[in-house]
Chains A and B, each alone.
Chain A
Amino acid sequence: MPANKEDGTNPEGHIWRIAPTRRDIVGFLGWGAVLTSIGIGTLAWVRLMYPRVLFEPPSQFKLGKPTEYSPQSVSDKWIRAYRFWLARFDDRFVAISAICTHLGCTPRYLNTEDKFKCPCHGSGYRGYASGWKVIATNFEGPAPRPMERFRLSLADDGQIVVDKSVVFRLDKDEASKPGAFLPYA
């Protein structure tokens, strides 16, 4: 590496130096330390804004035994309390979030027409007959995507447990993921 000239510039006359001087190295280390400290401090501050424990209402609820739900039906039982439908198919349960994907209203399940219909702007979603993979997929009105599904599991006492903090989205192909449905024959 060619040496710098006495004034610190390189021999070819460019303003930048070829070899870092002692001052460059000390300066780099000094500013590096300052910026690293600020960076770590900023990251720590952002992390501090996310507490480990949240004091919020529980997101998991027990829904009773699977036998309490009549086969081949969409249950309205938990709409008022927890805002989701529990649909029972021949081999599985599916929990459908009752939040319209258009502007967040609560759609209704229309038994006679077998479809979900939002009263606000008329979004329609496919009903039970479309099968567990397609049910609650939007087909009319302004809704941009299917309604979401909640995680289902079975508790030790044989009751169905829903966890509303874990959602599965049909538009992301998550209908068949484990947890997106509860196998039950």
Chain B
Amino acid sequence: MAEAKKGWFDIVKSSYVWKSIFRHEYQDTYRNRVLQVSSNVFLHLHPTKIRRHALRLRFTWCMGGITFLLFLIETVTGVILMFYYRPTGEYAYHDMKYLQFDVPFGMIMRNMHRWGAHAMVIAVWLHMFRVFMTGSYKPPREFNWVIGVNLLVMTLMLSFTGYLLPWDQLSIWAVTVGTNMGRATPLLGHEGPFADFLGVNARYDARALLTAGRLVGAATLLRFYVLHCIFIPIIAAVLMIVHFWRVRKDGGISGPL
């Protein structure tokens, strides 16, 4: 047989650069499909196969997936906002206004971040409600429920720390009220039970650790910014990885009763 005519794609595929990236041909076989998922750095958290019931929206509500999607949206829009936002007492409020009124598409980025945050909290609660009502917290999935509760706390902490960043009256006083609860921490809060045991006071207690001082000020803003953008997202991401992995290890999404 005469040599087949080589198309431009064949020429690209035989190039050194292509081969250095993909190494070998891809044959569309069941084995290769499994390998594609299990050996791919981005897809390996997915199960290689899922049962039909796992796709039924009436059972899962897809709330876990929507929560994750919202987390990704928050990450992307949040990083975009970081290009303009300076977390200092002098600039924070004006940068927020600048993003809203003078930066093209700044308003939609800020609003996506804000509404996405609200939606994420709601989706997390609905996800938790679904898991509870379908009994999916029961063995062998009990540890994943614990991880999920921690993820709930991380979501709420992200909401709380993000609330301060617009740096207007609403956020300052909301966080003032919120952090005042820290005064009543047992042992570590200066107005809580056993406060005298360790000798904590208003200057050195659990609340002062959070607010970086006796009141909510510029130091608090910077501290909340770091917590909001670095600390809590990393912990949440690690927990999410374990959460998804455990879903698979514990037997996939639980089936209808």
Which A positions have Cβ atoms within 8 angstroms of B? Answer: 46, 49-51, 54-56, 59, 104, 165, 167
Contacts and interface: CB of A to CB of B under 8 A. Distances in A.
A49 B209 CA distance: 6
B93 interface: no
26 contacts: A46-B209, A49-B209, A50-B203, A50-B204, A50-B208, A50-B209, A51-B212, A51-B219, A54-B203, A54-B212, A54-B213, A54-B214, A55-B213, A55-B217, A55-B218, A55-B219, A56-B213, A56-B214, A56-B215, A56-B217, A59-B214, A104-B180, A165-B202, A165-B203, A165-B214, A167-B202
A49 B226 CA distance: 13
A51 B209 CA distance: 10
Contacts, number: 28
A104 B208 CA distance: 19
A167 B219 CA distance: 24
Instruction: Identify the 8 closest CB pairs spanning chains A and B, nearest first.
Output: A54-B213, A49-B209, A56-B213, A50-B204, A56-B214, A56-B215, A56-B217, A50-B208
Tell me whether chain A's interface is mostly helix, strand or loop, or mixed: loop
A108 to B, nearest CB: 21
A46 B219 CA distance: 16
Given A55-B213, A56-B217, 11 more contacts: A46-B209, A50-B204, A51-B219, A54-B203, A54-B214, A54-B219, A55-B218, A104-B180, A165-B202, A165-B203, A165-B214
B92 to A, nearest CB: 16
Interface string B166-195: 000000000000001000000000000000
B15 to A, nearest CB: 50
Given A54-B219, A165-B202, A165-B203, A49 B214 contact: no
Contacts of B219: 51, 54-55
Contacts of A51: 212, 219
Contacts of B217: 55-56
Given A55-B218, A56-B217, A49 B203 contact: no
A56 B209 CA distance: 15
A164 to B, nearest CB: 10
Contacts of A46: 209
B206 to A, nearest CB: 11
Contacts of A55: 213, 217-219
Contacts of B215: 56
